[in-house]
Amino acid sequence: MTDRNADSALDRAAAEALALLAEDRRSRADRRASAGEELSGGLGTPAGGNAGAHDAGYDFLFADDTRDRPRCEAASGEAPPGGPGAGGSEAEPFSADGLSGKPHVPASGREVASQDAGYDFLFVDETPVPPEAQASSADMSAEPPHVPALERKAAPQLPAYDFLLADFADGAPTSSQPASACRETPEEPGPGPGPAPAPPGYDFLFAGSSAADVSPERAAPRQEAGPPGGTPAADPAPQPPRHAATPWPGACGAASGAGERLPAVVRSLDGALGHVLAAPLAALTDLPSFDTSAMDGWAVAGPGPWRLPRDGGGVLAGDEHTETSPVRDGHAVRIATGARVPPGVTGVVRSEHGEVTEQGELYATRHVTHGQDIRPRGQECRRGDLLVPEGTPVTPALLGLAAAAGYDELSVTRRPRVDVLVLGDELLREGLPHGGRIRDALGPMLGPWLSALGTEVIAVRRLGDDADALYAALTASDADVVITTGGTAAGPVDHVHPTLRRLGAELLVDGVAVRPGHPMLLARLAPGRHLVGLPGNPLAAVSGLLTLAEPLLRTLAGRPAPAPYRAVLTEAVQGHPADTRLVPVVHRHSERAQPLRFHGPAMLRGVAAADALAVIPPGGAPQGAAVDLLELPWAGSA
């Protein structure tokens, strides 16, 4: 009953890469949120997003137009933006007075340090995000014959997925919809024209709904399972009444507040990817740690022409003796990119910009400025400088920076350890569905998804519908978080609630006012150990993952809340009268979100094409409304 899914290293690596891409995406979104008025509307992510907190730690990196660039340029002896110098010092020579200036060793680390505010050569590129792709209308005639053409008003930004884009004229599917979508329609609302008042019987539109699902009374006590058909009930005792479902924003907040950041651990650079820094990363050395040639050529001292050593000797990267071999005015030595610049050198002449006579004299064919093509010590940072703050996710780039700055290992927050228990006798591990049984869609999905969220997945195990096996697995697990799938409702073999009672677990969230996924739950098994119960319907499980698991895991991992990300709906999305809806959308590199079809609770077709779930408030959202987006881990890779 406890088959293990081997988590291949490849799967994990791919998932980690997805997480990193998402971080990058969030970072870009953050910048757009700061820049665009539509995105700065102050509706933070219900999960507790805090735009300011994220930026604050990076203040020293962000552009500040009030800074005195000319002063900085003067102080550094470097080029103006775009020219040679700190920010782009390997560009063409820029100044006409290089030879007339008094001979002077290029800016040393100390001189550079005196710029203090002169770090604006680091500041981020504020290039506006390119306008969204306004793709031309797709050639609908090119669609496969079995996929009926949609009306042209479906947003054309994603031609390859046109057949997935929501296209509801009145909240009902068009007649051209695939049959599978039509079958789902009575159970779920399609993106519709807006927040229409719920007509009688409206609740039939909603996923898994019964009258109790959508009416205010839906939170009334539900009938608990009697003795389950498949295996004996874990706890046949009378069931306590269910309390009201938690509103969706509150559920996210309860999850993020349920745990505490895990302790710091030390990891080698090799093992730190996917963690979060538990301490600020301060430079352990100046970078560069010595005045460095930026080009292959000649290191020259004073005005030319310059005499070269008769032995033809030069300086290579890694040579140690250069500090003791000064170059006198009027002399030059060959030098390689990355080599330490000897004392007395005032500039580097690139090999393509110099000519050597038969007499061994070097002439520059271009003007040579003071400090030309020399990266001064401390140009990037001084020892002790804050490079990135605590809480920063460890990305490949950060690993490179840490290594450059002298680190062999990093202090990171321990990643949450997660067990996944997939429940359901009907689930097949392979092959085609048959005999009333279906493929397990959640086991293959959750392992990599959880890895992408920065967790260490211990195992994904399939337990069937066996109350005792569930009890035993929960008792034996030493994971920080156990995630179950299925069995959250009150059916005859839904064992999650009875087993939690048997364990004496504390239910922190028992049902959430969100569609799909309302039976999701969060429980404390013991201090520091939690269980997230995801509903079995696959999109409902995704909803639970983003609503309860992700915020909890983020807190445990010490990850900052993602910056609020909002987008404007390309069309109205019908709402639930009382509950939040999470609807798959595409918004690739755009501030416009296109709702997708195939968003029924049992469907993954929409979310597989999506890069976010749009948060649709109770009552719905009209076309043009700005809604919060929950970005999916792969959002940045699309």
Ligand X SMILES: Nc1nc2c(c(=O)[nH]1)N[C@H]1C(S)=C(S)[C@@H](COP(=O)(O)OP(=O)(O)OC[C@H]3O[C@@H](n4cnc5c(N)ncnc54)[C@H](O)[C@@H]3O)O[C@H]1N2
> What's the length of the chain?
638
Go through 254-276 and write b for each residue having 16 or more CB atoms within 10 A of its CB, e for each that does not: bbbebbebbebbebebeebbbbb
Q: Which is nearest to 262 in space by CA: 479, 408, 19?
A: 479
Decide the pairing of beta strands 438-439 and 292-293: unpaired
The residue (of 415 and 518) whose beta carbon lies closer to ligand MOO is 518
Residue whose tokens read 């003067």: 74
Contact between residue 81 and residue 88 where contact means Cβ atoms under 8 Å apart: yes
Residues whose CB is less than 8 angstroms from the CB of residue 538 and which lie 6 or more positions away in sequence, other chains included: 441, 442, 445, 601, 602, 603, 604
CB of 496 to ligand MOO, least distance (A): 14
Enumerate the β-bridge partners of residue 532: 483, 522
The residue (of 395 and 488) whose beta carbon lies closer to ligand MOO is 488
Residue 273 interacts with which of ligand X, ligand MOO, none, CB < 5 to 8 Å by class: none
Enumerate the β-bridge partners of residue 386: 282
CB of 518 to ligand X, least distance (A): 6
The residue (of 416 and 601) whose beta carbon lies closer to ligand MOO is 601
- Annotate 461-494 with three-state secondary structure: EEEECCHHHHHHHHHHCCCCEEEEECCCCCCCCC
Handedness of CA 568, 570, 576, 580 (dihedral sign): negative
The residue (of 216 and 624) whose beta carbon lies closer to ligand MOO is 216
Residue 468 interacts with which of ligand MOO, ligand X, none, CB < 5 to 8 Å by class: none
Give the dihedral of Cα atoms 508, 514, 516, 518; nearest 10 deg: 40
**Residue whose beta carbon is closest to ligand MOO:** 540
CB of 425 to ligand MOO, least distance (A): 19
Please report, as ranges, the residues that interact with ligand MOO according to CB under 6 A: 207-208, 515-519, 535, 537, 540, 601
Residue 491 interacts with which of ligand X, ligand MOO, none, CB < 5 to 8 Å by class: ligand X
The residue (of 84 and 208) whose beta carbon lies closer to ligand MOO is 208
Residue whose tokens read 């008003």: 153
Q: How far, CA to CA in Å, does 636 sit from each of 152, 268, 586?
A: 28, 27, 12
CB of 494 to ligand X, least distance (A): 4
CB of 523 to ligand X, least distance (A): 14
CB of 601 to ligand X, least distance (A): 5
The residue (of 118 and 486) whose beta carbon lies closer to ligand X is 486
Residues whose CB is less than 8 angstroms from the CB of residue 589 and which lie 6 or more positions away in sequence, other chains included: 129, 130, 132, 133, 638
Residue 489 interacts with which of ligand MOO, ligand X, none, CB < 5 to 8 Å by class: ligand X
The residue (of 103 and 444) whose beta carbon lies closer to ligand X is 444
CB of 189 to ligand X, least distance (A): 14
Residue 441 interacts with which of ligand X, ligand MOO, none, CB < 5 to 8 Å by class: ligand X
| Three-state SS at 569 | strand
Contact between residue 540 and residue 516 where contact means Cβ atoms under 8 Å apart: yes
CB of 577 to ligand MOO, least distance (A): 14
CB of 200 to ligand X, least distance (A): 20
CB of 252 to ligand X, least distance (A): 18
The residue (of 516 and 636) whose beta carbon lies closer to ligand MOO is 516
CB of 565 to ligand X, least distance (A): 26
Q: How far apart are CA 206 and CA 188, in angstroms?
A: 4
CB of 210 to ligand MOO, least distance (A): 11
Contact between residue 393 and residue 401 where contact means Cβ atoms under 8 Å apart: no
Q: What are phi and psi of 41, to 5 degrees?
A: -70, -5
| Three-state SS at 353 | helix
For helices 442-452 and 9-35, give the axis angle rounded to 10 degrees.
60
The residue (of 489 and 593) whose beta carbon lies closer to ligand X is 489
The residue (of 371 and 538) whose beta carbon lies closer to ligand X is 538
Both tokens of 145, joined, read 């014959």
Phi-psi sector, 145: left (phi>0), alpha (psi -120 to 50), beta: alpha
Q: How far apart are CA 498 and CA 490, in angstroms?
A: 10
Residue 440 interacts with which of ligand MOO, ligand X, none, CB < 5 to 8 Å by class: ligand X
Q: What are phi and psi of 312, to 5 degrees?
A: 70, 10
Contact between residue 497 and residue 236 where contact means Cβ atoms under 8 Å apart: no
Please report, as ranges, the residues that interact with ligand X according to CB under 6 A: 207-208, 213, 422, 424, 426-427, 438, 440-442, 485-491, 494, 516, 518-519, 535-538, 540, 601
Q: List, in sequence order, the alpha helices (H) in 57-148.
A: 69-76, 109-113
CB atoms under 10 Å from CB of 249, counted, come to 21
Can you give the C-alpha Rg of the chain in angstroms? 31
The residue (of 461 and 599) whose beta carbon lies closer to ligand MOO is 599
Q: What are phi and psi of 216, to 5 degrees?
A: -55, -25
CB atoms under 10 Å from CB of 585, counted, come to 31
The residue (of 370 and 518) whose beta carbon lies closer to ligand X is 518
Residue 74 interacts with which of ligand X, ligand MOO, none, CB < 5 to 8 Å by class: none
Q: How far apart are CA 334 and CA 297, in angstroms?
A: 6
| Three-state SS at 432 | coil
The residue (of 537 and 555) whose beta carbon lies closer to ligand MOO is 537
CA 214 from chain centre, in angstroms, equals 34
Q: Which amino acid, 101?
A: G
The residue (of 347 and 511) whose beta carbon lies closer to ligand MOO is 511
CB of 381 to ligand MOO, least distance (A): 50
CB of 218 to ligand MOO, least distance (A): 11
